[in-house]
Protein backbone atom coordinates (compact mmCIF):
# COMPACT_ATOMS: atom_id res chain seq x y z
CA UNK A 1 0.00 0.00 0.00
CA UNK A 2 1.27 3.54 -0.72
CA UNK A 3 2.40 5.28 2.48
CA UNK A 4 2.43 9.04 1.76
CA UNK A 5 3.30 9.96 5.36
CA UNK A 6 6.06 7.38 5.81
CA UNK A 7 9.00 8.89 7.69
CA UNK A 8 6.90 11.29 9.76
CA UNK A 9 6.54 10.73 13.50
CA UNK A 10 3.43 11.89 15.37
CA UNK A 11 2.83 11.87 19.12
CA UNK A 12 -0.81 11.27 20.00
CA UNK A 13 -1.43 12.76 23.45
CA UNK A 14 -5.18 12.97 22.82
CA UNK A 15 -7.93 10.92 24.40
CA UNK A 16 -11.49 9.74 23.74
CA UNK A 17 -12.41 10.09 20.03
CA UNK A 18 -11.78 13.20 17.90
CA UNK A 19 -8.01 13.38 18.48
CA UNK A 20 -7.43 9.62 18.34
CA UNK A 21 -9.42 9.44 15.09
CA UNK A 22 -7.19 12.12 13.56
CA UNK A 23 -4.06 10.26 14.66
CA UNK A 24 -5.43 6.96 13.36
CA UNK A 25 -5.95 8.49 9.93
CA UNK A 26 -2.33 9.67 9.92
CA UNK A 27 -1.23 6.14 10.84
CA UNK A 28 -3.34 4.73 7.99
CA UNK A 29 -1.43 7.05 5.66
CA UNK A 30 1.91 5.73 6.85
CA UNK A 31 2.98 7.97 9.74
CA UNK A 32 4.60 6.44 12.81
CA UNK A 33 2.12 7.29 15.57
CA UNK A 34 2.95 6.84 19.25
CA UNK A 35 -0.04 6.98 21.57
CA UNK A 36 0.90 8.36 24.99
CA UNK A 37 -1.49 7.44 27.80
CA UNK A 38 -1.54 8.26 31.51
CA UNK A 39 -1.27 5.41 34.04
CA UNK A 40 -5.08 5.31 34.20
CA UNK A 41 -5.27 4.82 30.42
CA UNK A 42 -7.38 6.54 27.80
CA UNK A 43 -10.85 6.90 29.42
CA UNK A 44 -12.45 5.25 26.39
CA UNK A 45 -10.79 1.96 27.36
CA UNK A 46 -13.45 1.73 30.09
CA UNK A 47 -16.40 2.82 27.94
CA UNK A 48 -18.43 -0.33 27.59
CA UNK A 49 -19.64 -2.94 27.31
CA UNK A 50 -18.93 -4.32 24.82
CA UNK A 51 -15.48 -5.49 25.89
CA UNK A 52 -13.44 -8.27 24.34
CA UNK A 53 -13.60 -11.66 26.00
CA UNK A 54 -10.55 -12.45 28.11
CA UNK A 55 -7.31 -10.55 27.63
CA UNK A 56 -7.37 -7.13 29.26
CA UNK A 57 -11.04 -6.60 28.35
CA UNK A 58 -10.30 -4.02 25.69
CA UNK A 59 -13.35 -1.92 24.79
CA UNK A 60 -14.82 -1.76 21.31
CA UNK A 61 -14.97 2.02 21.75
CA UNK A 62 -11.19 2.29 22.21
CA UNK A 63 -10.54 -0.04 19.28
CA UNK A 64 -12.44 2.10 16.79
CA UNK A 65 -9.97 5.02 16.92
CA UNK A 66 -6.53 3.64 17.81
CA UNK A 67 -5.46 1.30 15.03
CA UNK A 68 -1.92 1.61 13.72
CA UNK A 69 -0.36 3.12 16.84
CA UNK A 70 2.46 2.14 19.16
CA UNK A 71 1.66 2.62 22.81
CA UNK A 72 3.47 4.05 25.81
CA UNK A 73 2.35 4.94 29.35
CA UNK A 74 3.76 8.12 30.88
CA UNK A 75 2.95 9.85 34.15
CA UNK A 76 3.52 13.57 33.57
CA UNK A 77 3.87 14.15 37.32
CA UNK A 78 6.89 11.82 37.34
CA UNK A 79 10.11 13.69 36.44
CA UNK A 80 11.58 10.61 34.71
CA UNK A 81 8.47 10.16 32.55
CA UNK A 82 8.36 13.88 31.82
CA UNK A 83 11.96 13.79 30.55
CA UNK A 84 11.01 10.84 28.35
CA UNK A 85 8.12 12.87 26.93
CA UNK A 86 10.48 15.75 26.17
CA UNK A 87 12.75 13.34 24.31
CA UNK A 88 9.83 12.06 22.26
CA UNK A 89 8.71 15.61 21.46
CA UNK A 90 12.18 16.43 20.23
CA UNK A 91 12.04 13.46 17.83
CA UNK A 92 8.50 14.10 16.57
CA UNK A 93 7.28 16.03 13.56
CA UNK A 94 3.90 16.75 15.11
CA UNK A 95 1.94 16.31 18.31
CA UNK A 96 -1.83 15.95 18.68
CA UNK A 97 -3.40 16.95 22.01
CA UNK A 98 -6.83 17.70 23.43
CA UNK A 99 -5.98 18.78 26.98
CA UNK A 100 -8.11 21.27 28.81
CA UNK A 101 -6.29 24.63 28.74
CA UNK A 102 -5.38 24.42 32.44
CA UNK A 103 -3.85 20.95 31.99
CA UNK A 104 -1.85 22.03 28.95
CA UNK A 105 -0.46 24.98 30.88
CA UNK A 106 0.30 22.87 33.94
CA UNK A 107 2.38 20.38 31.96
CA UNK A 108 4.07 22.96 29.71
CA UNK A 109 2.31 21.63 26.61
CA UNK A 110 0.87 24.88 25.27
CA UNK A 111 1.75 25.98 21.74
CA UNK A 112 3.84 28.92 22.96
CA UNK A 113 6.03 26.82 25.24
CA UNK A 114 6.38 23.90 22.84
CA UNK A 115 7.16 26.18 19.89
CA UNK A 116 9.83 28.03 21.88
CA UNK A 117 11.57 24.75 22.70
CA UNK A 118 10.87 22.82 19.48
CA UNK A 119 10.51 25.37 16.67
CA UNK A 120 9.99 22.70 13.97
CA UNK A 121 7.28 20.83 15.90
CA UNK A 122 3.73 21.11 14.55
CA UNK A 123 1.11 21.18 17.30
CA UNK A 124 -2.50 20.20 16.60
CA UNK A 125 -4.88 21.12 19.41
CA UNK A 126 -8.46 19.92 19.66
CA UNK A 127 -10.56 21.96 22.05
CA UNK A 128 -14.17 21.91 23.11
CA UNK A 129 -14.40 25.61 22.27
CA UNK A 130 -12.08 28.12 20.60
CA UNK A 131 -9.31 29.57 22.72
CA UNK A 132 -10.53 33.17 22.24
CA UNK A 133 -14.14 32.77 23.43
CA UNK A 134 -15.55 32.91 27.00
CA UNK A 135 -16.25 29.14 26.93
CA UNK A 136 -12.59 28.35 26.17
CA UNK A 137 -11.99 26.49 29.44
CA UNK A 138 -15.07 24.31 29.19
CA UNK A 139 -14.69 20.61 28.45
CA UNK A 140 -16.18 19.49 25.16
CA UNK A 141 -17.94 16.27 24.29
CA UNK A 142 -19.64 15.28 21.04
CA UNK A 143 -23.01 15.14 22.81
CA UNK A 144 -22.64 18.70 24.14
CA UNK A 145 -21.48 19.97 20.76
CA UNK A 146 -24.51 18.40 19.08
CA UNK A 147 -26.80 20.02 21.65
CA UNK A 148 -25.30 23.53 21.48
CA UNK A 149 -24.63 23.67 17.73
CA UNK A 150 -28.25 23.09 16.75
CA UNK A 151 -27.77 19.54 15.44
CA UNK A 152 -30.21 18.06 17.93
CA UNK A 153 -32.86 20.62 17.05
CA UNK A 154 -32.74 19.28 13.48
CA UNK A 155 -32.76 15.57 14.35
CA UNK A 156 -35.92 13.59 15.03
CA UNK A 157 -39.58 13.75 14.11
CA UNK A 158 -41.25 17.19 14.08
CA UNK A 159 -43.37 16.63 17.19
CA UNK A 160 -40.81 14.70 19.21
CA UNK A 161 -37.93 15.82 21.42
CA UNK A 162 -34.62 16.85 19.81
CA UNK A 163 -32.25 13.91 19.28
CA UNK A 164 -28.54 13.35 18.83
CA UNK A 165 -27.26 11.42 15.85
CA UNK A 166 -26.73 7.68 16.27
CA UNK A 167 -22.93 8.01 16.22
CA UNK A 168 -20.48 10.72 17.31
CA UNK A 169 -20.43 12.62 14.02
CA UNK A 170 -19.23 15.90 15.57
CA UNK A 171 -16.15 14.08 16.88
CA UNK A 172 -15.66 12.50 13.47
CA UNK A 173 -15.82 15.88 11.71
CA UNK A 174 -13.43 17.39 14.23
CA UNK A 175 -10.96 14.54 13.76
CA UNK A 176 -11.08 14.83 9.98
CA UNK A 177 -10.49 18.60 10.12
CA UNK A 178 -7.59 18.09 12.54
CA UNK A 179 -5.94 15.45 10.34
CA UNK A 180 -6.41 17.61 7.26
CA UNK A 181 -5.01 20.69 8.99
CA UNK A 182 -2.04 18.77 10.34
CA UNK A 183 -1.15 17.42 6.91
CA UNK A 184 -1.43 20.93 5.46
CA UNK A 185 0.93 22.12 8.21
CA UNK A 186 3.43 19.38 7.28
CA UNK A 187 3.31 20.55 3.66
CA UNK A 188 3.72 24.17 4.77
CA UNK A 189 6.77 23.23 6.83
CA UNK A 190 8.28 21.38 3.88
CA UNK A 191 7.94 24.53 1.77
CA UNK A 192 8.87 27.20 4.30
CA UNK A 193 10.57 25.49 7.25
CA UNK A 194 7.94 27.05 9.53
CA UNK A 195 5.87 25.03 12.01
CA UNK A 196 2.23 25.94 12.57
CA UNK A 197 -0.27 25.58 15.39
CA UNK A 198 -3.40 23.82 14.16
CA UNK A 199 -6.49 24.30 16.33
CA UNK A 200 -9.92 22.72 15.79
CA UNK A 201 -12.70 23.55 18.27
CA UNK A 202 -15.22 20.72 18.50
CA UNK A 203 -18.13 23.15 18.74
CA UNK A 204 -17.09 24.91 15.54
CA UNK A 205 -16.58 21.59 13.76
CA UNK A 206 -20.17 20.77 14.65
CA UNK A 207 -21.35 24.16 13.37
CA UNK A 208 -19.51 23.53 10.10
CA UNK A 209 -21.57 20.35 9.73
CA UNK A 210 -24.78 22.36 9.46
CA UNK A 211 -23.84 22.98 5.80
CA UNK A 212 -26.91 23.83 3.70
CA UNK A 213 -29.06 24.25 6.83
CA UNK A 214 -26.79 27.03 8.10
CA UNK A 215 -26.60 28.57 4.64
CA UNK A 216 -30.39 28.67 4.44
CA UNK A 217 -30.74 30.19 7.90
CA UNK A 218 -28.14 32.85 7.09
CA UNK A 219 -29.86 33.63 3.78
CA UNK A 220 -33.41 33.93 5.13
CA UNK A 221 -33.03 34.60 8.84
CA UNK A 222 -35.56 31.85 9.45
CA UNK A 223 -35.01 29.01 11.91
CA UNK A 224 -34.98 25.54 10.30
CA UNK A 225 -37.29 22.88 11.72
CA UNK A 226 -37.11 19.12 12.27
CA UNK A 227 -38.50 17.07 9.42
CA UNK A 228 -37.64 13.53 10.48
CA UNK A 229 -36.15 11.76 7.48
CA UNK A 230 -37.42 14.35 5.00
CA UNK A 231 -35.00 16.77 3.33
CA UNK A 232 -35.65 20.50 3.88
CA UNK A 233 -34.80 21.46 0.28
CA UNK A 234 -35.61 18.42 -1.88
CA UNK A 235 -38.90 16.51 -2.36
CA UNK A 236 -39.17 13.56 -2.36
CA UNK A 237 -36.04 12.80 -0.36
CA UNK A 238 -37.05 10.68 2.62
CA UNK A 239 -37.95 7.18 3.79
CA UNK A 240 -41.16 5.42 2.82
CA UNK A 241 -42.76 2.37 4.44
CA UNK A 242 -43.24 -0.34 1.81
CA UNK A 243 -44.36 -3.94 2.08
CA UNK A 244 -41.41 -5.85 3.54
CA UNK A 245 -39.33 -2.90 4.70
CA UNK A 246 -38.55 0.80 4.55
CA UNK A 247 -37.00 2.39 1.48
CA UNK A 248 -34.92 5.58 1.39
CA UNK A 249 -35.81 7.46 -1.77
CA UNK A 250 -33.72 10.44 -2.89
CA UNK A 251 -35.08 12.01 -6.07
CA UNK A 252 -32.35 14.30 -7.30
CA UNK A 253 -33.80 15.73 -10.50
CA UNK A 254 -37.11 16.72 -12.09
CA UNK A 255 -36.67 14.04 -14.74
CA UNK A 256 -36.34 11.37 -12.08
CA UNK A 257 -39.52 12.58 -10.42
CA UNK A 258 -41.46 12.54 -13.69
CA UNK A 259 -40.49 8.90 -14.24
CA UNK A 260 -41.48 8.02 -10.66
CA UNK A 261 -44.73 9.97 -10.88
CA UNK A 262 -45.74 8.22 -14.09
CA UNK A 263 -45.09 4.82 -12.49
CA UNK A 264 -47.09 5.73 -9.38
CA UNK A 265 -49.98 7.18 -11.39
CA UNK A 266 -49.64 10.80 -10.27
CA UNK A 267 -51.27 13.35 -12.60
CA UNK A 268 -48.68 16.00 -13.39
CA UNK A 269 -51.05 17.66 -15.86
CA UNK A 270 -53.42 18.41 -13.01
CA UNK A 271 -50.55 19.32 -10.66
CA UNK A 272 -48.00 21.15 -12.86
CA UNK A 273 -46.23 22.61 -9.79
CA UNK A 274 -44.90 19.13 -9.06
CA UNK A 275 -42.78 19.15 -12.23
CA UNK A 276 -40.09 21.24 -10.52
CA UNK A 277 -38.38 20.72 -7.19
CA UNK A 278 -39.26 24.21 -5.82
CA UNK A 279 -42.92 23.49 -6.59
CA UNK A 280 -42.73 20.11 -4.88
CA UNK A 281 -41.07 21.60 -1.80
CA UNK A 282 -43.75 24.28 -1.53
CA UNK A 283 -46.54 21.72 -1.93
CA UNK A 284 -44.95 18.95 0.15
CA UNK A 285 -47.89 18.82 2.58
CA UNK A 286 -50.08 17.46 -0.22
CA UNK A 287 -47.52 15.52 -2.24
CA UNK A 288 -45.76 13.54 0.49
CA UNK A 289 -48.93 11.85 1.84
CA UNK A 290 -49.85 10.79 -1.71
CA UNK A 291 -46.42 9.25 -2.21
CA UNK A 292 -46.65 7.50 1.15
CA UNK A 293 -50.00 5.97 0.22
CA UNK A 294 -48.90 4.77 -3.24
CA UNK A 295 -45.60 3.36 -2.05
CA UNK A 296 -47.12 1.62 0.99
CA UNK A 297 -48.94 -0.78 -1.34
CA UNK A 298 -45.77 -1.84 -3.16
CA UNK A 299 -43.11 -4.34 -2.12
CA UNK A 300 -39.77 -2.84 -1.12
CA UNK A 301 -37.95 -5.04 -3.65
CA UNK A 302 -40.29 -3.82 -6.41
CA UNK A 303 -39.60 -0.18 -5.60
CA UNK A 304 -35.84 -0.73 -5.41
CA UNK A 305 -35.81 -2.64 -8.71
CA UNK A 306 -37.75 0.12 -10.46
CA UNK A 307 -35.45 2.83 -9.08
CA UNK A 308 -32.34 0.89 -10.07
CA UNK A 309 -33.66 0.42 -13.62
CA UNK A 310 -34.39 4.13 -14.01
CA UNK A 311 -31.32 5.52 -12.19
CA UNK A 312 -33.33 6.94 -9.29
CA UNK A 313 -31.28 6.97 -6.05
CA UNK A 314 -32.85 4.56 -3.55
CA UNK A 315 -31.80 2.08 -0.91
CA UNK A 316 -33.16 -0.23 1.74
CA UNK A 317 -33.11 0.99 5.34
CA UNK A 318 -30.86 -1.56 7.00
CA UNK A 319 -29.79 -2.39 10.52
CA UNK A 320 -26.11 -2.01 11.42
CA UNK A 321 -25.78 -5.81 11.45
CA UNK A 322 -27.35 -6.02 8.01
CA UNK A 323 -25.13 -3.23 6.66
CA UNK A 324 -21.96 -4.95 7.88
CA UNK A 325 -22.85 -8.52 6.94
CA UNK A 326 -25.54 -8.42 4.25
CA UNK A 327 -23.31 -9.45 1.34
CA UNK A 328 -24.09 -13.16 1.25
CA UNK A 329 -23.15 -13.48 4.91
CA UNK A 330 -19.56 -12.32 4.34
CA UNK A 331 -17.79 -9.33 5.81
CA UNK A 332 -17.94 -6.09 3.87
CA UNK A 333 -14.64 -5.17 2.23
CA UNK A 334 -14.27 -2.15 4.52
CA UNK A 335 -13.77 -4.51 7.46
CA UNK A 336 -10.08 -5.24 7.89
CA UNK A 337 -8.86 -8.16 10.02
CA UNK A 338 -5.74 -7.23 11.98
CA UNK A 339 -3.49 -9.78 13.65
CA UNK A 340 -3.03 -9.13 17.37
CA UNK A 341 0.30 -10.56 18.58
CA UNK A 342 -0.74 -10.08 22.21
CA UNK A 343 -3.48 -12.70 21.92
CA UNK A 344 -2.64 -14.48 18.68
CA UNK A 345 -6.14 -13.66 17.51
CA UNK A 346 -7.68 -11.52 14.80
CA UNK A 347 -9.28 -8.12 15.46
CA UNK A 348 -11.89 -7.03 12.88
CA UNK A 349 -11.99 -3.24 12.47
CA UNK A 350 -13.49 -0.79 10.02
CA UNK A 351 -10.75 0.60 7.79
CA UNK A 352 -10.64 4.04 6.23
CA UNK A 353 -12.79 4.42 3.10
CA UNK A 354 -9.77 6.05 1.45
CA UNK A 355 -8.21 4.12 -1.43
CA UNK A 356 -4.70 4.91 -2.68
CA UNK A 357 -3.92 3.36 -6.06
CA UNK A 358 -6.88 1.04 -5.46
CA UNK A 359 -5.47 -0.12 -2.12
CA UNK A 360 -7.25 0.39 1.18
CA UNK A 361 -5.58 2.86 3.56
CA UNK A 362 -5.36 0.80 6.73
CA UNK A 363 -2.44 0.58 9.15
CA UNK A 364 -1.46 -2.99 9.99
CA UNK A 365 -0.89 -2.51 13.73
CA UNK A 366 -3.77 -3.36 16.08
CA UNK A 367 -4.69 -0.84 18.79
CA UNK A 368 -2.00 -0.72 21.50
CA UNK A 369 -2.54 -2.84 24.58
CA UNK A 370 -2.57 -1.08 27.93
CA UNK A 371 0.18 -2.05 30.36
CA UNK A 372 -1.54 -1.74 33.71
Q: What is the pTM of this model?
A: 0.94
Give the pLDDT of residue 333. Answer: 79
Q: Is the pLDDT assigned to residue 327 strictly greater than 80? A: no
Whether 189 shows a pLDDT value over 60: the answer reads yes
- Specify the higher pLDDT residue, 139 or 154: 154
pLDDT digits (tens, 9 = 90+) for 15-61: 999 999 999 999 999 999 999 999 999 999 999 999 987 656 789 99
DSSP, collapsed to helix, strand or coil, labels residue 372 as coil
Which domains does the chain possess? 9-209+334-360 (3.40.50.10540), 237-317 (3.30.1540.10)
- pLDDT of res. 371: 67
Distance CA 18, CA 176 (A): 8
263/368 Cα distance (integer angstroms): 55
Within 193-340, where are the H helices?
202-208, 211-220, 254-264, 277-282, 284-296, 300-309, 320-325
Lowest mean pLDDT among 128-132, 244-248, 252-256, 303-307: 128-132
Which pLDDT score is estimated for 79? Answer: 93
Higher pLDDT: 241 or 54? It is 241
Percent with pLDDT over 90 in the chain: 83
Does the pLDDT value for residue 372 go beyond 80? no
Using the predicted structure, report yes or no on whether residue 254 has a pLDDT greater than 80.
yes
pLDDT surpasses 60 at 238: yes
Instruction: Tell me the pLDDT band of 289, cut-offs 50, 70 and 90.
Output: very high
- 154 pLDDT more than 90: yes
Q: Which residues contact 76 (CB under 8 A, 6 or more apart)?
A: 38, 82, 85, 107
Residue 322's pLDDT band, with cuts at 50, 70 and 90, is confident
Average pLDDT estimate for 287-295: 97
More confident residue, 329 or 224: 224
Residue-wise DSSP of 143-190: HHHHHHHTHHHHSS-TTS-----SS-HHHHHHHHHHHHHHHHHHHHHH
Of 118-122, 164-168, 297-301, 366-370, give the lowest mean pLDDT range.
366-370
Does 202 score more than 60 pLDDT?
yes
Report residue 234's pLDDT band, with 50, 70 and 90 as the boundaries: very high
Mean pLDDT (the chain) is 94
Q: Which residues are catalytic?
A: 171
> Closest by alpha carbon to 138, among 97, 102, 174?
102
Band (282; pLDDT cuts 50, 70, 90): very high
**Residue 131 confidence (pLDDT) above 90:** no
> At residue 1, does pLDDT exceed 80?
no
Say whether 65 sits in a helix, a strand or coil.
coil
Q: What is the mean pLDDT of residues 69-96?
A: 96
Amino acid sequence: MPRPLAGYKVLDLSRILAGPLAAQLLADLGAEVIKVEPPSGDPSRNWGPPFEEGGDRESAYFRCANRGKKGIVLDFSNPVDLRRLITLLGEADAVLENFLPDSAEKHGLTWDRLHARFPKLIVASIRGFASDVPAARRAGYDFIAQAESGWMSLTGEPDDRPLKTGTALADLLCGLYAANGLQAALLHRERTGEALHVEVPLFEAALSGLLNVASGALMTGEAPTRRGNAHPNIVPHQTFACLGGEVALGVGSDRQFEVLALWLGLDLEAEPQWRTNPGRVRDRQRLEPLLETRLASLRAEEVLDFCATHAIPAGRVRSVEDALFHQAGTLHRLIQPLYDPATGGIIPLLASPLLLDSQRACAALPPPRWER
